[in-house]
Amino acid sequence: MLDSANVFWFPGRWLGGISLIIAPLLLLTGIILRSQFHFFFPDQLAAYNKHPELISIAYSFFVMGNILLFPAIITISTHVGLKRPVWAVIGGGMVMFGLFARTFYAGVDHLSFQLVKQEGVEQATKIIAATYGAFYITSIFP
């Protein structure tokens, strides 16, 4: 274990530990709140059209959990790195890149829901379907 009296490490015992507990709970809450609807985009857009508050809250919980996983992953990687530094760098790096990619796509989700508000669910679905496979650099991350 890291001896916090002799070694400084970020994010530290408290931020790392709290994020290890809270982040998965936020992710789970977001998933459970939207689990009554299919997860593919046409169904999510239709769900937002009928239940905008519920879907907004669900996606907000999920993205906050995703953001709070960042210090948790640094904490886990730091501890794993004491015995298996190569695995810590590879695993921690892949997970963090994936978190950043998922946070980017949370912005795409937000834009999609704003399209439902502005253009209606049918038009928003057409726009998202037409652009669904568009390449963006974050799509290379898991």
Read off the pLDDT band of 134 (50, 70, 90): confident
- In whole angstroms, give the CA distance from residue 7 to residue 137: 36
For 113, counting Cβ atoms within 10 Å of its Cβ (0-12 exposed, 13-18 middle, 19+ buried), the class is buried
Cβ 101 vs Cβ 139: under 8 Å: yes
- In this prediction, residues 106-113 reach a mean pLDDT of 95
Q: Is the pLDDT of residue 83 over 70?
A: yes
pLDDT of 108 reads 92
pTM, 2 dp: 0.86
pLDDT of 55 reads 98
Q: Is the pLDDT of residue 138 over 80?
A: no
Q: In the structure encoding, which two tokens stand for residue 48, read together? A: 């937002």
Q: Is the pLDDT of residue 75 over 70?
A: yes
- In this prediction, residues 66-71 reach a mean pLDDT of 96
For 139, the enclosing helix (H) or strand (E) is: none
pLDDT of 140 reads 79
pLDDT of 135 reads 84
- List phi, psi (to 5°) of 6: -110, -20
pLDDT in tens, 1-42: 555 557 888 899 899 999 999 999 999 999 999 999 999 999
Q: How far is CA 46 from CA 37, 65, 127, in A?
A: 9, 24, 14
Which of helix, strand or coil describes residue 66? helix
